[in-house]
């Protein structure tokens, strides 16, 4: 039994959205938003990834265990980033030269 | 893993491994197994992304200068090529899912062509970096006060993009194998799990590039 066959137009629709978001991220890079530039670029990349994961990788309409596994991976990735940022972000606080 | 065409008749469940109760369970297991592998891949690349974050936060000006040495036109072109290859891959999986093996094989062939185009463009970019002496090491040369920190940007650029390119090479070989199998009718709507898993791997490689493109090519362009 083929489980949940997506119509072809869904694939082309997602492709068109990914193309538009690629153009948007290039365009946004040339506008001065200050420190927000990086966050805008990352936000667009997250939206693009979500589209790929949900529709191209069929997480939408698949067993619910799959998103749990993905989010557990993302959780540990964010933990890695958070603790690294806490470390490097506070090294100057000690007032010890070279630390 | 051999299977007959169509449904019904003798050996109708030959493509169902004996330790599974149903095709649905077999497919869910294959999908979950592939995703478990991909989560380890996310954390594998994550280490390099974390290093990128630390050095970019430490040397923002050097990373801006390094990024400006990259060609947005080539990087953007490759982004379009890779997303297009994800589309052909997704449609190929759909072909396997609906029992159109020959269509799936053709789309997989197109996916391989697009993947190869990406690598060729990447090769030209790398060549340009060698000519410009922007490859980290004893021959590295960059005009400016922050040359060493710019070199750090290029260390991360080459580490991230070459690891990504290695995944592309493995992906193209895998897609070639799956295309051959699809052409000979190995995938049926009940069991196209290897094709689906290969698709997941290919889309993952696309996901990594979706983050690499803005983080490497588009820093401080305004």
pLDDT tens digit sequence for B174-202: 999 999 999 999 999 999 999 999 999 99
**B12 found inside a domain:** no
pLDDT tens readout for residues B61-114: 999 999 999 999 999 999 999 999 999 999 999 999 999 999 999 999 999 999
Query: Does residue B56 surpass a pLDDT of 80?
Result: yes
- Per-domain residue ranges for chain A? 1-62, 63-99
Residues of B in contact with A77 (CB under 8 A): 42-43, 46
Residues of B in contact with A42 (CB under 8 A): 211, 214
Contact between B222 and A30 using a beta-carbon 8 Å cutoff: yes
**B88 found inside a domain:** yes
Q: How much is the pLDDT for B12?
A: 61
- Using alpha carbons, select from A68, A77, A50, A8 the residue that is nearest to residue B31: A68
Contact between B87 and A62 using a beta-carbon 8 Å cutoff: no
Q: How much is the pLDDT for A10?
A: 96
- Nearest-angstrom CA–CA distance, B162 and B43: 17
Query: Does residue B5 surpass a pLDDT of 60?
Result: no
Residues of B in contact with A56 (CB under 8 A): 86-87, 89-90, 199, 203, 206
**B95 found inside a domain:** yes
- Using alpha carbons, select from A13, A58, A3 the residue that is nearest to residue B202: A58
Residues of A in contact with B89 (CB under 8 A): 56
**B15 found inside a domain:** no
**B152 found inside a domain:** yes
Mean pLDDT of chain B: 93
Q: Which candidate from A1, A69, A88 shows the least CB-CB separation from B23?
A: A1
Contact between B218 and A45 using a beta-carbon 8 Å cutoff: no
**B91 found inside a domain:** yes
**B13 found inside a domain:** no
Q: Give the residue-averaged pLDDT of B194-222.
A: 96
Residues of A in contact with B200 (CB under 8 A): 57
- Nearest-angstrom CA–CA distance, B74 and A26: 12
Query: Does residue B222 surpass a pLDDT of 90?
Result: no
The total domain count for chain B is 1
Q: How much is the pLDDT for B109?
A: 98
Domain that holds residue B160: 40-217
What value of ipTM does the predicted structure carry? 0.92
What are all long-range contacts of B45-50, with beta carbons under 8 Å and residues at least 24 apart?
A: B45/B160, B45/B163, B45/B208, B46/A77, B46/A80, B46/A81, B47/A80, B48/B156, B48/B159, B48/B160, B48/B163, B49/A81, B49/B160, B49/B211, B49/B215, B50/A80, B50/A81, B50/A84
Sign of the alpha-carbon dihedral angle for B88, B92, B95, B101: positive
Residues of B in contact with A19 (CB under 8 A): 80, 83
Contact between A41 and B98 using a beta-carbon 8 Å cutoff: no
Considering chain B, what percentage of its residues have pLDDT values greater than 90? 90
What global pTM score does this model have? 0.92
CA angle B154, B55, B209 (to 5 degrees): 60
Residue A99: pLDDT band (50, 70, 90) is low
CATH of the domain at B160: 1.20.120.80
Chain A (4-63) residues lying within 8 Å, Cβ to Cβ, of chain B: 5-6, 8, 11-12, 14-15, 18-19, 22, 25-26, 29-33, 37-38, 41-42, 44-45, 48-49, 52-53, 55-58, 62-63
Query: Does residue B210 surpass a pLDDT of 50?
Result: yes
């Amino acid at each position: 039994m083929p489980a949940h066959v997506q119509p072809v137009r869904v694939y082309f629709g997602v492709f068109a959205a990914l193309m538009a978001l690629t153009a948007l991220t290039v365009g946004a890079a040339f506008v001065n938003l200050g420190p927000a530039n990086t966050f805008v670029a990352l936000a667009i990349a997250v939206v693009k990834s979500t589209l790929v994961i949900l529709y191209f990788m069929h997480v939408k309409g698949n067993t619910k265990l799959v998103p749990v596994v993905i989010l557990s991976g993302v959780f540990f990735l964010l933990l890695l980033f958070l603790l690294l940022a806490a470390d490097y972000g506070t090294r100057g606080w000690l007032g010890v030269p070279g630390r | 893993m051999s299977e007959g065409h169509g449904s019904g008749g003798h050996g109708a469940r030959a493509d169902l491994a004996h330790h599974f109760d149903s095709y649905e369970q077999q497919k869910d297991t294959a999908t979950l197994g592939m995703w478990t592998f991909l989560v380890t891949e996310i954390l594998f690349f994550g280490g390099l992304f974390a290093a990128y974050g630390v050095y970019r936060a430490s040397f923002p000006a050097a990373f801006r200068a390094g990024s400006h040495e990259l060609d947005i036109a080539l990087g953007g072109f490759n982004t379009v090529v890779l997303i297009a290859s994800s589309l052909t891959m997704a449609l190929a999986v759909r072909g396997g899912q609906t029992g159109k093996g020959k269509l799936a094989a053709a789309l997989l062939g197109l996916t391989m062509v697009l993947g190869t185009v990406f690598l060729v463009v990447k090769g030209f970019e790398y060549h340009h970096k060698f000519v410009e002496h922007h490859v980290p090491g004893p021959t590295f040369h960059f005009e400016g006060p922050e040359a060493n920190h710019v070199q750090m940007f290029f260390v991360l650029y080459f580490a991230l993009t070459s690891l990504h390119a290695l995944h592309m090479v493995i992906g193209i070989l895998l897609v070639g194998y799956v295309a051959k199998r699809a052409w000979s009718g190995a995938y049926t709507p009940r069991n196209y799990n290897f094709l689906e898993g290969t698709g997941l791997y290919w889309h993952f490689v696309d996901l990594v590039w979706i983050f690499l493109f803005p983080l490497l090519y588009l820093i401080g362009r305004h």
